[in-house]
């Protein structure tokens, strides 16, 4: 992939709810100049500032701000020297009030914390307020598909209706990141809107990759029912020469080993510690991750993982795609083995037995914790990464080492290039990665929008996956 120079013919990018900057990095890679961005999390805006501005010798344009307390004048001032072609506004308003995981967490906090009472569920209105105040030439909004069912509201339909009334042609669709070269099955809702005065119909990008065996995500199986919505457009069919989905093995196999066996010594590397690649890149995806902007890299940073010592022996026996049910059965086997070796029984040695159980067996309820653990399958794309990685990484257990994935491995599965630095706490880094729009998917959307706005043909797939 060739990292494009800023195209002065394109509108300036305004990045709302930026997180660590993945969405904007895809747009920057497609030639959009980043004029300003905000997120309420200072750690996230520091990550975005470094990777989108400082590393290019530019002043920071991402700031820790509460969107409900600012108006468009903030962005007009920070981007005043570069906005002669107007603005494009992008962002992913918080999804906790919409997503199944977020709703479950809110429910656990009590009836007064219902997802319908969560103020974050209304922040898309502030996103639209800023976009309309800026008279943006185009708007792109991302969120979870569950936003289609927020109480009695269909948020993407409502957003499109509001934009239509404000003078835009607006459409929404469901895109799967795996269809655009990201080694992860990740379905997300995207709204794209373009001012009617531009005379352009919004179009979503054509997938560059396809499932090798006909598998699809949950929402891709519901496309026919979604088509009843006024503003919905089905995703495009893959290109005729589309490549197969990128697998976990293809994404991670060239990274330094950290914990090859259960008896390995644990070591936590500092976020900026550089670990050299053990091999040359083995495929086009790895070459892209190592050399996205053309500067190249000798190794990776942020390659740290959590020390969950109790569970390393369990991880070592788990098979690809195993979940918590499998893990708890393995733990019971390990407990029995230890008890037999020590001559301990629950009846005769209750205190020693309970102490040993606590040391070996995870205490989680099998019925409620069924899908919280999962070992990655090296021969498939990863399942969806989420912000809960900031709490633990049991949902993404390494496919061939007995541990959770590292920060850099999570970044690879989201298509963040190896030069993208996360110089923050491990929890902050995992949250920023899990919340992000994968840069490769963002690039595909940005490349399509660029082509529409400047009237050029789309760049070929070869620009992404060169030989």
Task: Of 56, 50, 2, give the one whose Cα is nearest residue 33.
Answer: 56
Rounded to the nearest 10 degrees, the angle between the axes of helix 42-52 and helix 426-435 is: 70
Write the CA distances from 401 to 255, 256, 312, 317, 318, integer angstroms. 12, 11, 9, 10, 10
pLDDT recorded at residue 190: 98
pLDDT recorded at residue 257: 98
Provide the β-strand partners of residue 90. Answer: 15, 140
Q: What is the pLDDT of residues 385-417, one digit of tens each?
A: 999 999 999 999 999 999 999 999 999 999 999
Would you give the end-to-end CA distance of the chain in angstroms? 10
How sure is the predictor about 334, in pLDDT bands with cuts at 50, 70 and 90? very high
| Percentage above 70 pLDDT, the chain | 90
Q: How far apart are CA 464 and CA 65, in angstroms?
A: 34
Residue 200 near residue 234, CB atoms below 8 Å: no
How sure is the predictor about 112, in pLDDT bands with cuts at 50, 70 and 90? low
Q: Which two tokens stand for residue 299?
A: 């190794």
pLDDT recorded at residue 310: 95
| 462-465, long-range: CB < 8 A, 24+ apart | 463/1, 463/2, 464/1, 464/181, 464/208, 464/288, 464/440, 465/1, 465/181, 465/208, 465/243, 465/284, 465/285, 465/288
Helices (H), 53-99: 73-78
Task: Burial-class residue 357 by CB neighbours within 10 Å (0-12, 13-18, 19+).
Answer: middle
pLDDT recorded at residue 61: 87
Stretch 54-82: mean pLDDT? 85
Within 8 A by CB and 6+ apart from 40, the residues are 64, 65, 66, 67
Residue 96 above 80 pLDDT? no
DSSP 376-414: PPTTSPBPPP-GGGGT--TTSB-SSSSSBPPHHHHHHHT
Residue 271 above 80 pLDDT? yes
Q: How far apart are CA 164 and CA 231, in angstroms?
A: 10
Residue 32 above 70 pLDDT? yes
SS3 of residue 210 by DSSP: strand
Buried b / exposed e across 427-445, counting CB within 10 Å, b at 16+? Answer: ebbbbbbbbbbbbbbbbbb
Residue 205 near residue 442, CB atoms below 8 Å: no
Mean pLDDT of the chain: 90
pLDDT recorded at residue 178: 97
Stretch 313-319: mean pLDDT? 98
How sure is the predictor about 371, in pLDDT bands with cuts at 50, 70 and 90? confident
Task: Burial-class residue 62 by CB neighbours within 10 Å (0-12, 13-18, 19+).
Answer: buried
Residue 126 near residue 68, CB atoms below 8 Å: yes
Residue 235 above 70 pLDDT? yes
Dihedral sign of CA atoms 378, 382, 383, 389 in order: positive
Stretch 215-222: mean pLDDT? 81
Residue 113 above 50 pLDDT? no
Q: What is the pLDDT of residues 432-462, one digit of tens each?
A: 999 999 999 999 999 999 999 998 645 434 4
Q: Which two tokens stand for residue 396?
A: 């993404």
Task: Of 428, 452, 426, 407, give the one whose Cα is nearest residue 19.
Answer: 428
How sure is the predictor about 366, in pLDDT bands with cuts at 50, 70 and 90? confident
Q: How far apart are CA 350 and CA 176, in angstroms?
A: 51
Residue 466 above 50 pLDDT? no
258 DSSP assignment: S
Domains of the chain: 12-243+435-463 (3.40.50.150)
Give the residue numbers marked as catalytic. Answer: 95
Stretch 21-25: mean pLDDT? 98
How sure is the predictor about 296, in pLDDT bands with cuts at 50, 70 and 90? confident
pLDDT recorded at residue 297: 84
Residue 145 above 50 pLDDT? yes
Q: How far apart are CA 366 and CA 362, in angstroms?
A: 10
> Would you tell me how many other CB atoms lie within 10 Å of the CB of residue 223?
14
How sure is the predictor about 122, in pLDDT bands with cuts at 50, 70 and 90? confident
Provide the β-strand partners of residue 150. Answer: 153
Helices (H), 22-177: 22-29, 42-52, 73-78, 100-108, 123-133, 155-165
């Amino acid at each position: 992939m060739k990292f494009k120079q800023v195209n002065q013919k394109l509108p300036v990018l305004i990045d709302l709810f930026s997180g660590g900057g993945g969405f904007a990095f895809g747009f920057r890679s497609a030639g959009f100049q980043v004029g300003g961005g905000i997120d309420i999390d200072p750690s996230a805006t520091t990550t975005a500032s470094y990777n989108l501005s400082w590393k290019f010798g530019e002043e920071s344009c991402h700031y820790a701000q509460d969107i409900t307390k600012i108006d468009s004048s903030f962005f007009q001032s920070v981007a005043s020297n570069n906005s002669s072609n107007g603005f494009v506004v992008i962002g992913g308003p918080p999804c906790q009030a919409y997503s199944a995981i977020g709703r479950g967490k809110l429910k656990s906090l009590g009836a007064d914390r219902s997802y319908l009472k969560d103020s974050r569920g209304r922040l898309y209105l502030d996103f639209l307020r800023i976009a309309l105040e800026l008279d943006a030439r185009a708007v792109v909004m991302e969120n979870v598909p569950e936003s289609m069912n927020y109480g009695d509201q269909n948020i993407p339909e409502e957003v499109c209706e509001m934009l239509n009334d404000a003078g835009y042609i607006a459409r929404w669709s469901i895109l799967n990141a795996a269809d655009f070269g990201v080694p992860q099955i990740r379905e997300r809702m995207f709204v794209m809107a373009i001012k009617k005065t531009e005379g352009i119909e919004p179009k979503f990008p054509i997938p560059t990759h396809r499932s090798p065996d006909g598998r699809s995500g949950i929402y891709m199986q519901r496309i026919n029912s979604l088509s009843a919505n006024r503003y919905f457009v089905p995703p495009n069919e893959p290109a005729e020469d589309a490549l197969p989905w990128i697998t976990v093995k293809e994404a991670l196999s060239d990274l330094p080993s950290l914990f090859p066996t259960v008896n390995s010594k644990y070591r936590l590397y500092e976020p900026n510690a550089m670990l050299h690649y053990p091999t040359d890149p083995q495929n086009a995806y790895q070459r892209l991750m190592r050399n996205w902007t053309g500067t190249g890299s000798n190794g990776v940073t942020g390659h740290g993982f959590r020390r969950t010592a109790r569970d390393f022996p369990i991880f070592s026996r788990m098979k690809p795609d195993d979940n918590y049910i499998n893990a708890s059965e393995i733990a019971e086997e390990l407990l029995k083995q230890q008890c037999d070796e020590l001559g301990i029984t629950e009846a005769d040695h209750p205190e020693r037995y309970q102490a040993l159980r606590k040391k070996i067996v995870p205490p989680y309820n099998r019925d409620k914790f069924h899908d919280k653990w999962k070992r990655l399958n090296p021969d498939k794309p990863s399942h969806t990464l989420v912000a809960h990685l900031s709490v633990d990484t049991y949902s993404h257990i390494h496919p061939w080492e007995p541990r959770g994935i590292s920060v850099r491995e999570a970044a690879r599965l989201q298509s963040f290039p190896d030069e993208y630095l996360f110089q923050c706490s491990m929890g902050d880094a995992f949250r920023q990665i899990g919340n992000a729009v994968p840069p490769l998917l963002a690039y595909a959307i940005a490349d399509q929008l660029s082509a529409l706005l400047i009237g050029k043909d789309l760049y070929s797939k070869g620009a992404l996956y060169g030989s």
